[in-house]
Amino acid sequence: MEKMERLISIVMILLQKNIVSATEFSQLFNVSKRTILRDMETLGYSNIPIYAINGIHGGYGIMDEYKIDKRLLSSKDLENILTALGGLGQILFSDEVELTLKKMEAMVGSASKGSIHLSFYDWEGRSEILQTLNICQEAIVKNKLVSFDYIDKDGMTSNRMIEPYQLHFNEMSWYLKGFCLHRQSYRTFKLSRIDHLNMVNQTYNPRDYLLEQEHEASYQPQLVAIKALILPSIKDQFIERYGRKSIENYNSEYLLATIHVPQNSTGFQFLASFGTNLEILEPQSYVEEFRDFLHQMIHKYS
């Protein structure tokens, strides 16, 4: 851990706890007590009101007035972060998350955590992609280029060299966002389509990626409002995605769902996943395109 990160962590811990011993800090950050002493001196020189208490129950604290005026996060905020990280640790980088969890637990305390548990499927492909994730994350942190072969949806392979900027997780898939030097534009790459990934020993000067993020956030795929009959057995899935207001009673057998979905293969695949538990009523143009999509599926097995 870098010294600056350790100093920030120390301040955050002291904002939440009364007294923390040098031994606790040294064990948490895996450094010597002498290093912790130097850290406390550095914080004192930075006008952060750290004080020391001698004795068997002694340690370091931070002035109460500073806690009141400068509190960064409430205990509830930290508990929420700890809860989220506890679940995401199953799909993120275990070593990184474990260290963060330890820091959060020190701030929150063992008594206040554990009210929520998040669980994810332990798919084989998820563990295989960890190496790719680690390389991408290291390249982003070090501002180093990455090269790889990319297989598009049509099976065509091209070699890419990009400036990596962000890893993005969307429902089930990981994506790498960056500036492609071959295309001279920002691109998003699905990690499952990346092969022969290498971090190049060449650094880059980061571009203004925030502007690109704002542009991307302003773009939304065109959605179509559809009405569909659904069986009660899949009602909860629609409530979780679209809310209770999207569903109303239709008859003794079906419910009527009004939802917005893309009029493309993504939307069709989503609706087809419900099988015979769903029937699209309108608009007619959507029904016809969805029917064509299903016919193409059936044709594969005819």
pLDDT tens-place values along the chain, 302 residues long: 577 778 888 888 887 778 899 888 988 888 888 899 988 888 887 778 888 888 777 899 888 766 644 445 566 666 666 655 555 555 555 566 666 666 666 655 554 555 666 566 666 666 678 788 889 988 998 999 999 999 988 889 999 999 999 888 776 788 999 999 998 988 999 998 999 999 999 999 988 766 566 555 545 567 899 999 999 999 999 999 999 999 999 999 999 999 999 888 889 999 999 999 999 999 999 999 999 999 999 999 98
CA dihedral angle for residue 88, residue 91, residue 92, residue 93, rounded to 10 degrees: 130
Strand locations in 91-208 (E)? 144-151, 157-170, 173-180, 185-190, 194-203
With residues binned 3-state (H G I as helix, E B as strand, rest as coil), the percentages for the chain, rounded to 5, are 50, 25, 25
CA separation (Å) from 145 to 128, 148, 182, 210? Answer: 22, 10, 12, 19
Domain boundaries for CATH 2.30.30 within the chain: 133-218
- The reported pLDDT for the residue numbered 116 is 60
Domain 3-70 has CATH 1.10.260.40: no
> What integer pLDDT is reported at residue 111 of this predicted model?
47
* Tokens of residue 208, six digits: 């203004």
User: Which secondary structure element, helix H or strand E, spans residue 51, and what is its range?
Assistant: strand 50-53
Q: Output b/e per residue, 22-38; b: 16+ Cβ within 10 A.
A: bebbbebbebeeebbee
Report the amino acid identity of residue 206: P
Which residues belong to CATH 1.10.10.10 in the chain?
3-70
Q: Domain 223-299 classified CATH 3.90.350?
A: no
* Range(s) of the chain covered by CATH 3.30.70: 223-299
CATH number (3.30.1070, 1.10.287, 2.40.10, 2.30.30) of 133-218 reads 2.30.30
Q: Which two tokens stand for residue 109?
A: 């305390």
